[in-house]
Amino acid sequence: KKKFIEVSTNISKAPLHYFYNAKINKTGFEDYDLLLKKSLAPLDQSQIEEHVKQGAQVIDVHPPSTPQVYIGAVYFPPPILEDYIGHLIKPETPIIIATEIPKSSEEIIQRLLQIGYHNILGYLNKPYTDDSISASLYKPSRISVQDFKSSFNPTKDLIIDVRRPDEWKAGHLKDAEHYPLSDFSSPPNLDPTVKYFIHCRTGGRSLAATIILNNLGFINVTSIDGGTLEMEKHEIEFVK
């Protein structure tokens, strides 16, 4: 019993799509090829805006190296898409895919269909370099580890660590607070007068968390590029 408790202590709560998939396993899936065909609908700006008004959620999936993000989107770096979308987006939610290059949308849609996200309305039909969508993009605040070291004021600023509980327990910044990205379906209640620095292991999850908080109106939030891996190179101290 003690060993079971130790092994299961750091397991995250089940993603929302687990329960949804269990339900549709009983009622039956739609034909995959039909779902894919329906989901691969190119959408222009006006169509996306209309869908969003009716409750659709834009999902932006691209590498953290891309500086721009679709305004109002929930952002996922490609490697963590399946791991975290199930904690933040209900599988019944109508979804629109935005990527920096439209042709990469098909792969993202296929990945989502395979884990039970079947209500995909289509994808943005323009690349981020197209001037016609520039007004729908913004650059979330980001900072290098070196600049963070020189600008962080522990008497005024706060750090939020969005890594998993096991990562936090292995070592964390002395002044940090812990709030895993998987819990951001109920984001932390921030003080809008305080400056927050968000970090993870490499910078992808912290950028996702920063964008969620931006969507909620918090603008004093900055993602630390490179995360703890880069901090180790700069000899920043961690505690347990």
Identify the weakest region by mean pLDDT among 14-28, 125-139, 179-193: 14-28
81-102 pLDDT per residue, tens: 999 999 999 999 999 999 999 9
* This prediction's pTM: 0.88
Q: What is the pLDDT of residue 13?
A: 65
Q: What is the pLDDT of residue 25?
A: 54
pLDDT band at 17 (very low <50, low <70, confident <90, very high): low
DSSP the chain: -HHHHHHHTTPPPPPHHHHHHHHHHHH-PPPHHHHHHHH--EE-HHHHHHHHHTT-EEEEE--TT---EETTPEEE-GGGHHHHHHHHS-TTS-EEEE-SSGGGHHHHHHHHHHTT---EEEEE-S-TT-GGGGGGEE---EE-HHHHHHH--TTT-EEEE-S-HHHHHH-EETTEEE--GGGTTS-----TTS-EEEE-SSSHHHHHHHHHHHHTT--SEEEETTHHHHHHHTT--EE-
133-189 pLDDT per residue, tens: 999 999 999 999 999 999 999 999 999 999 999 999 999 999 999 999 999 999 998
Q: What is the pLDDT of residue 27?
A: 55
Mean pLDDT of the chain: 91
User: Phi, psi at residue 106, to the nearest 5°?
Assistant: -60, -45
**Residues 117, 223: Cα–Cα separation, whole Å:** 28
